[in-house]
Structure 1
Amino acid sequence: MSAEADHVVLCWLATADATGQPNVSPKEIFLRTTPDEVLIADIASPRSVANIRQNPKVCVSMIDIFRQRGEKLEGTASLIAPNEPEFAALNARLERLTQGLFIIHHVIRVRVGPVSPIRAPGWHLFPDKTEADMRREALATYRVTALP
C-alpha cells in the first residue's frame, strides 16, 4: 500500500502491557491492506497477544534494511480469534503468504493512526547519497553478495 511497505519482508510489532513494560517482536507474515490497516499473523506471539489484551496501543516498524529506510505506524490493535466470523476471510489472505507452513492463532488487526518515516542516520548525515549508494553500502555492511 505504500512504496516503503512494498520493500519490507519483516516488520516489528511493539506492544506494552498494562504497566507499560514494552515488548518488540518480529513478524514475518503481515499485509498492509490499506494505508489505515495492517494485518499481522499471530503465529508464535503469546506475549504480543497478552499485551494487546491489556493495552491495544501498538507501533509497527516496517524497514527495508537494504534501502535503510521505512515507516513507523502507530495505531490500535485488535485480536480476531478463529471463532469470530471475519477470521476465515482474513486468515485466508495471510495463509497465502505462509503457503500452509504455519498455524495462525489470531489475526492482529492494526488500525493505523500517525505514520512517520524511519531513516538510517546516513540519510541525514550524508544528504547527497542516493538510494543506490545506501543500498550498496548496506549490502557491503551485511556481506550480502547476491539478491534475487
Structure 2
Amino acid sequence: MDQQVKLAIEKSVLCWLATVDSDGMPNVSPKEIFTYAADDTLLIAHIASPQSVANIRHHAQVCVSFVDVFEQRGYKLKGTAQLVQQDDSRYAGYLQRLRQLADERFPIQAIIVISVTSVQPVVAPSYWLFADTTVEQQVDNALRTYKVSRP
C-alpha cells in the first residue's frame, strides 16, 4: 500500500470486508475501526463480526474495499486474513494502533490482520466515461444528489 492508499484509509469512515463461508456463500460486512500497520498489513477490529471471523477460519482469502462517497473513488485490497487473539504477542501493538481510532467503549474481541497481496483503485464510471471529470465535480454532484452541504 503506497501513501495514497494509506491516506484513503485514514479518510475512510467505513470499509467493507468480503469473506466466504464453508459452503462458498459470500458475506460482506461493514467495519468501522480499521487502519494499516505496514505497507502490506491492514488491521480491522473484531467488535461484532462473528460471521466474518467464522468465514476467515474456513477461507482466509478476503477482499476489503473503502470508497469516499463524495469523491466516489477508493481502493479494493485483496489478501489473506488471520485472527490475532489477545494471547498473541502481536496483539498489544496492533490494539494500540486501533485504539488511536476508538476508545475502550468499543469492545475489541480480536484483530483481523490482513496481509495485502493486491491493491486496485475503485472509481465511479464518470471518471473514465468522461475524461475531463474532476474530483471537485464528483464531490459537487454527490453533495447535490445526497442533498447535503459542507460545514
Among 39, 47, 55, the residue aligned to 2:59? 55
Aligned to 2:47: 43
Structure 1 stretches of at least 4 aligned residues deviating more than 6 Å after TM superposition = none
How far the C-alpha of 1:85 sits from its partner, in A, is 2.0
Q: How far apart are 1:92 and its partner, in Å?
A: 1.9
TM-score, reference length from structure 1: 0.93
Q: How many equivalent residue pairs?
A: 147
Matches within 5 A, 1:18-97: 18-97=22-101
Aligned to 1:108: 112
Q: Determine the structure 2 residue equivalent to 1:12.
A: 16
- 2: CA distance, partners of 1:104 / 1:12: 17
CA RMSD of aligned residues (A): 1.3
Q: Which 5+ residue runs of structure 2 have no aligned equivalent?
A: none
Distance 1:62 1:35, change over 3 A: farther
1:43, 1:102 within 8 Å by CA — same for their partners in 2? yes
Deviation digits for residues 44-84 of structure 1, max 9, x if unmatched? 00000000000000000011111100111000000001122
1:120 deviation in Å? 0.9
Q: Aligned partners of 1:88, 1:6: CA distance in 2, in Å?
A: 21
Q: Percent identity?
A: 46
Tell me which amino acid in the other structure corresponds to 2:144: A
